[in-house]
Structure 1
Amino acid sequence: MKTLIINAHPDFNNEQSFSLKLENMFIEKYQKVFTNNKLEIINLYDIEIPQVTQQQLLNTWDKQRHKQSLTPEEQHLAQLSKKLLEQFKGAQRIVIVTPLHNFNITSKMKDYMDNIMLARETFKYTKEGSVGLMTDNYKALLLQASGSIYTNDDRYTPLDFSYRYLKEMFENIMGFDKFYVVRAEGTAILPEEEVMQKASQNLDIAFEEFYK
């Protein structure tokens, strides 16, 4: 099965980034288990992603809905969005690599979500409410780094909007079988060795379930 890694870190090439260290840890484990498989990796801050603005997707979608001709720029945006959607739907395993930015996902990750969360493509509306369409053995894994710790059931726990938002969108709205998370947390207050050792242990557990 195809695995797509989505790196949503603005500084995606920074070797000191704990997000990148998580990604590298995942890739190393993947290559040991699936020796003949290739990973597909996209860095959101290194590609053009159409945005939901009046000048971009809103106007393009409106023209498409009314069967009006698109300008060359609008055609370009429509093709980019279509390519992102097809790539996403073509991978049964999605890995999201990101830092926790101000308690939420990064801006480019939100732009990406706006391109793949489309009615009649990844979910549909019914009289009883929305129904997910990504139900054919799709799973997602969030590799998230954070300076603080968000799993101690204290004031920080409900502020992890990144995990909560993505989990609900993938499982509840798009219908993914499962949404996992592996954290490198406390990077600003704990020794790196301690942070990464715990992350490695949690990845071992999640990885087995992810590909079961």
Structure 2
Amino acid sequence: MQTLIINAHPDFTHRESYSNKLQTLFLEQFKERFPHDEPTILHLHETEIPRIEKDQLLRIWNKQASEQTLTATEEKIAAASSALLAQFKAHHYLKEIFQNLMGFHQFHIVRAQGTAILEEETILTSAADDLSKAFDEFYSPSEM
């Protein structure tokens, strides 16, 4: 089962962060259900993501459409964009964007909420419950 985890936490290496704890809960469930599969983890804050603007992807796309040669920098940006796009197409993903614009069938966000006002146990219990529900729905046999 191809699955992409997008970790958008700026300090994704901090083991005590709620994002990391929730990711660990997910990975435990994933490995139990799919012991021979390995999800891809994309850390947004360590990934250089090409921008859709006139000095980056728009210029590159225009040059490619008119069969112009790309500079080495443009080649690098184009390759990064293609790799990210291939990753997104090969995995499950932000609801309106991915379902409506890109044609994905389903999308789930599970997060640890209330981190500024609730006790850690309450937060993680609620997040684990949400994760279990989303996990079962996402990986239900009828969707695979």
TM-score band, normalised by the shorter chain? 0.7 to 0.9
1:46 aligned onto 2:46: yes
Q: Equivalent pairs: percent with the same residue?
A: 47
Q: Check 1:183–1:87 CA distance in 2 against 1; reply closer, same or farther (3 A cut).
A: closer
The structure whose residues are more often helix, as a share, is 2
Name 1:78's counterpart in structure 2: 78
Distance 1:53 1:173 in 2: 19
Q: For structure 2, which runs of at least 5 residues remain unmatched after alignment?
A: none
Letter in 1 for 2:44: L
- Equivalent-residue separation in structure 2 for 1:40 and 1:69 (angstroms): 32
Q: TM-score, normalised by structure 2?
A: 0.87
Residue aligning to 1:68: 68
Deviation at 1:36, TM superposition (A): 1.5
Instruction: Give the Cα–Cα distance (whole angstroms) in 2 for the partners of residues 167 and 88 of structure 1.
Output: 13
Equivalent in the alignment of 1:174: 102
SS in 1 for 2:37: coil
Give 2:128's aligned amino acid.
S
Task: Please give the secondary structure, in 2, of the residue aligned with 1:178.
Answer: coil
Deviation at 1:53, TM superposition (A): 3.5
2:126 aligned residue (172, 177, 198): 198
Residue pair 2:19, 2:111 contacting (<8 A) in 1 also: no
Superposition deviation, residue 173 in structure 1? 2.1
> Equivalents in 2 of 1:172, 1:11: separation in Å?
30
Aligned-partner Cα distance in 2 for 1:167–1:48: 22
Name the SS for the 2:111 alignment partner: strand
Alignment of 1:20-59 (within 5 A): 20-59=20-59
Is 1:188 the counterpart of 2:116? The answer is yes
User: Which letter maps to 1:183?
Assistant: R
Structure 1 pair 179/87, CA: closer, same or farther in 2 (3 Å)? closer
Q: Spell out, residue by residue over 1:51-79, the C-alpha distance to the aligned partner (whole angstroms, 9 max, x if none).
A: 23433222212211222111111111111
Structure 1 residues 6 and 183: CA distance shift in structure 2, 3 A: closer
Give distance in 2, aligned partners of 1:53 and 1:17. 33
1:146-179: CA deviations, max 9, x gaps?
Answer: xxxxxxxxxxxxxxxxxxxx32112222222222
Amino acid corresponding to residue 207 of structure 1 in structure 2 = F
After superposition, what is the alpha-carbon deviation per residue over 1:83-123, rounded to whole angstroms, capped at 9, x for unaligned? 111122122xx3xxxxxxxxxxxxxxxxxxxxxxxxxxxxx
